[in-house]
Amino acid sequence: MPIPIISHGVTEGLSAIPYAWTVIKVALVVGTVALLKYFFSGARNTSERLMHSKVVMVTGGTSGIGAAIVHDLASRGAQIILLTQHAPSDVFLVEYIEDLRESTNNELIYAEQVDLTSLHSIRTFATKWVDNAPPRRLDMIILCANTLTPTRGPQRLTPDGLDEEWQVNYLANFHLLSILSPAIKAQPFDRDVRIIFSTCSSYMGGTIDLQRTEGALPDTKSTSRSTTKKAKKGSSVQKAKNASSIYGMTKLSLMVFAQAFQKHLSSYKRPDLQPMNARVIIVDPGFSRTPGTRRWITGGTLWGLLVYLVTWPVWWLILKSSQQGAQSFLYAAMDGKFGRVDGIGGWLVKECREVDYMRKEVKDEKVAKQLWEFSEQQIQAKEKEAATKRALAKKEDEAKKKQEASNPGVGAGDSSASSSNVTKAQTPGSRRNRKANNTQN
């Protein structure tokens, strides 16, 4: 059938074939869209690694790219430990883990409650992990948790009084790894340990300004006030620029810390005199259609969501899916060259290949030292404040319990009843008063 049509078109011309030009135009459009989709989809991971018996700790593993990574690694037999802000008994989390176990045919998937907006929650979990004897096995830590304030959204603070983007994207990772450092160093020499950080190309436009993190350093209050006064005198354009660039600052700070943490691990002298077997890898997944990206594009508004839905074909074309965004993470987790004992770590991976850093501050030791010291002091100050608040709240609860114990009959309903009895006793014409009067007489 096609051969006669083609021969007829060659001899008589394309105009002799019905709808020939229409078919050609449609084919060109479809082919162009397919090529663009293939280009924006990014590279695919082709590396393979046996993941059975590997213990992988993941933050942000319940949605977006993190969920895709967890599903792939669990399908390969890895033991997954999800660090999530939800309690293990949460209905959503229980159903999610059950579905994940069923779809991956892997029962070794668990959850630990770790709220990244609470420094106390992070310390509670990490300390319990480190205090285990003998040291628990830990082959990989994948830090995917991320938050992004909508374009028109106000600045949000955590219960610790810090900017939410700063604490979740950077400080929580610093706090977690600082405490887990002994557990990482205690892993046997023949074990391939990898710590994978998640970054974004926005780090190239970020500027590290530590005063904008709502730092709680005692000696920086005056500086923060003067900085605030200067900011009020600035233009609104500059304010908008600062608000939009704090996300880039968190990613740049995270990359600086990743390099410093690799040097921290490499400088450790193992008791067996073997080189350090833990390596740091930074991954840029590219722009993907994750819930965070969608929330940022829509500005956190219903009108923005409506525009997003109308223009969804454009976002489908130029943004990766969660599975496509996870490919570079899987490459960093599986490729053999990152597991070599003589590797120094600190690689940056994008589109399943190693690339160079675009900011010199990432490897600047002076910047890393300043950031490390500031982070430690900030965590110490905030944890003291939180501990004081918990102690006061505990005293108030104890005082309330003692008061209730001393007056066991006084409750929400009993108090009203007792007050009504007192009122009755004080009524001049009551039977009790008349009886008392008669007795006195």
Tell me the per-residue pLDDT of 91-145, one tens digit each, with 9 for 90 and over. Answer: 999 999 999 999 999 999 999 999 999 999 999 999 999 998 888 999 999 999 9
pLDDT (0 to 100) of residue 25: 83
Tell me the per-residue pLDDT of 173-228, one tens digit each, with 9 for 90 and over. Answer: 999 999 999 999 999 988 999 999 999 988 888 888 887 776 434 443 433 444 34
Q: How far is CA 25 from CA 21, 28, 32, 225, in A?
A: 6, 5, 11, 63
Give the angle subtended at the CA of 200 by the CAs of 199 and 205, to the nearest 5°.
120
The predicted model gives 243-265 an average pLDDT of: 88
pLDDT (0 to 100) of residue 216: 38
pLDDT (0 to 100) of residue 132: 85
Query: Rounded to whole angstroms, how far apart are CA atoms 387 and 137?
Result: 31
Query: Rounded to whole angstroms, how far apart are CA atoms 419 and 415?
Result: 6
> H/E/C letters for each residue in 243-301?
HHHHHHHHHHHHHHHHHHHHHHHHCCCCCCCCCCCEEEEEEECCCECCHHHHHHHHCCC
Q: How far is CA 267 from CA 213, 264, 276, in A?
A: 30, 5, 8
Instruction: Give the distance, in angstroms, between the CA of residue 377 and the centroid of all CA atoms in the same chain.
Output: 22
Question: Which strands form 347-350's sheet, in the order they lie side by side?
Answer: 109-113, 79-84, 55-59, 140-143, 193-198, 278-284, 347-350, 353-355
Query: Rounded to whole angstroms, how far apart are CA atoms 65 and 288?
Result: 8
Residue with tokens 């040291």: 135
Tell me the per-residue pLDDT of 40-58, one tens digit each, with 9 for 90 and over. Answer: 888 999 999 989 989 999 9
Asked whether residue 420 carries a pLDDT value surpassing 50, the answer given is: no
Query: Rounded to whole angstroms, how far apart are CA atoms 89 and 80?
Result: 17
Under a CB-based contact definition with an 8 Å cutoff, are residues 276 and 268 in contact?
A: yes
DSSP strand pairing (347-350 vs 353-355): antiparallel
How large a percentage of the chain has pLDDT more than 70?
79
Domains of the chain: 2-40 (no CATH), 55-285+320-384 (3.40.50.720)
Scanning 41-90, the segments in alpha helix (DSSP H) are 64-75
pLDDT (0 to 100) of residue 11: 67
Tell me the per-residue pLDDT of 214-223, one tens digit each, with 9 for 90 and over. Answer: 643 444 343 3
How large a percentage of the chain has pLDDT more than 90?
49
- Name every residue whose Cβ is closer than 8 Å to that of residue 199 and which is 6 or more positions away in sequence: 251, 254, 255, 282, 283, 284, 348
Predicted TM-score of the model (pTM): 0.80
Query: Rounded to whole angstroms, how far apart are CA atoms 417 and 293?
Result: 57
pLDDT (0 to 100) of residue 243: 47
How many CA atoms, within 13 angstroms, populate the side-chain half-sphere of residue 86?
16
The predicted model gives 216-245 an average pLDDT of: 42
- Name every residue whose Cβ is closer than 8 Å to that of residue 108 and which is 6 or more positions away in sequence: 74, 78, 79, 80
pLDDT (0 to 100) of residue 374: 93
- pLDDT band of residue 296 (cuts 50, 70, 90) is confident
pLDDT (0 to 100) of residue 410: 52
pLDDT (0 to 100) of residue 430: 47
- pLDDT band of residue 157 (cuts 50, 70, 90) is confident
**Greater model confidence, 209 or 286:** 286
The predicted model gives 345-374 an average pLDDT of: 92
Under a CB-based contact definition with an 8 Å cutoff, are residues 241 and 151 in contact?
A: no
- pLDDT band of residue 431 (cuts 50, 70, 90) is very low
Tell me the per-residue pLDDT of 58-97, one tens digit each, with 9 for 90 and over. Answer: 999 998 999 999 999 999 999 999 999 999 889 999 999 9
pLDDT (0 to 100) of residue 6: 64
Count of beta carbons in the 10 Å neighbourhood of residue 308: 16
pLDDT (0 to 100) of residue 175: 96
Which residue from 76, 77, 80, 79 is spatially nearest to 66, judged by alpha carbons?
80
Active-site residues, by number, are 251
